[in-house]
Amino acid sequence: MSPSWLYAPCRAPLTNWSRNLNTTRQLDAGVRLLTAQVHNYNGTWHLCHSDCALLDAGLLSSWLATIKSWLDEHPYDVVSILLVNSDLATRSDLDGEFEAAAITSYAYTPSSTTAVSISWPTLDELIASGKRLITFVADLAPSMAAPYLMDEFTFIFENPYSVTSLSKFFMYTGTTSGGPGPDFGSHAVWTAFFDEPFLGRSAELQHPNPRCRQSFRHKRCIRTDRQSRRRCCYLYGYVWESTNVHPC
């Protein structure tokens, strides 16, 4: 798998911080890992962050159709999707959305849905096969139904969430969400998720720390990124394939 980067700058205050660039512009800019949070909103599957009353980005199927159109126009590119399954959509629910977007023909299917393969296909192999969409879902029970929908924590390991100290950014065995250890072949994702107590008061209520909000370019954040890469390589023999700058 090639390196992937997600750039998520912030523009609005407090609860509805969001990205400045739509999906097509992100893909055009070189982003190859897209992430979205899926919610059941009035009986349909929408992309929302935390609550659809705060920020509703529309239907999941419409977003997937946008990605499908981009893949149609870029036959030599591979895109990964990471869906956060907030309202426990079933495989059938999600498969229906992918079918509605006519994107399943691009979907890569692993040899097993319960164990990580010894090696992933190369970019050339994915492009030659036409299977240029890699899809992870958190969480989704492994099954042979719609096997292209890969459970995130069967195939991915990450650093801890809700980090409040830059010294604690590192890759390690598992996540607070119950992810697996870095089995040989696991896809490593480093999530730039740096929080602080809301208004500096409550440890229970946190929000993104403004020191690292603008695409993680603060000098301390860049130094932390380098240190984390060295530690990841020392512990596991390789660094992460994808960086997810968490939406603010």
Q: Over the stretch 126-161, which tens digit does the pLDDT of each residue have?
A: 999 999 999 999 888 878 899 999 998 888 777 666
Residue 9: its pLDDT value, please?
34
CA distances to 81, 149, 168 from 93, in Å: 16, 11, 37
Q: Which residue type, as a one-letter code, is found at position 161?
A: Y
Q: What band does 77 get if pLDDT is binned at 50, 70 and 90?
A: very high
Residue 105: its pLDDT value, please?
98
Model's pTM, two decimal places? 0.75
Q: Over the stretch 165-223, which tens digit does the pLDDT of each residue have?
A: 666 655 454 443 434 445 555 666 666 566 677 665 556 666 666 655 544 444 445 44
Q: What band does 19 get if pLDDT is binned at 50, 70 and 90?
A: low
Residue 157: its pLDDT value, please?
73
The Cα 94–Cα 75 span in angstroms is 24
Residue in this structure with the two tokens 């509605």, named with its chain if needed: 100
Residue 238 CB-density burial (10 A; 0-12 exposed, 13-18 middle, 19+ buried): middle
Question: On the CB side of 11, how many CA atoms lie within 13 Å of its CA?
Answer: 6
* Domains of the chain, earliest start first: 4-10+17-245 (3.20.20)
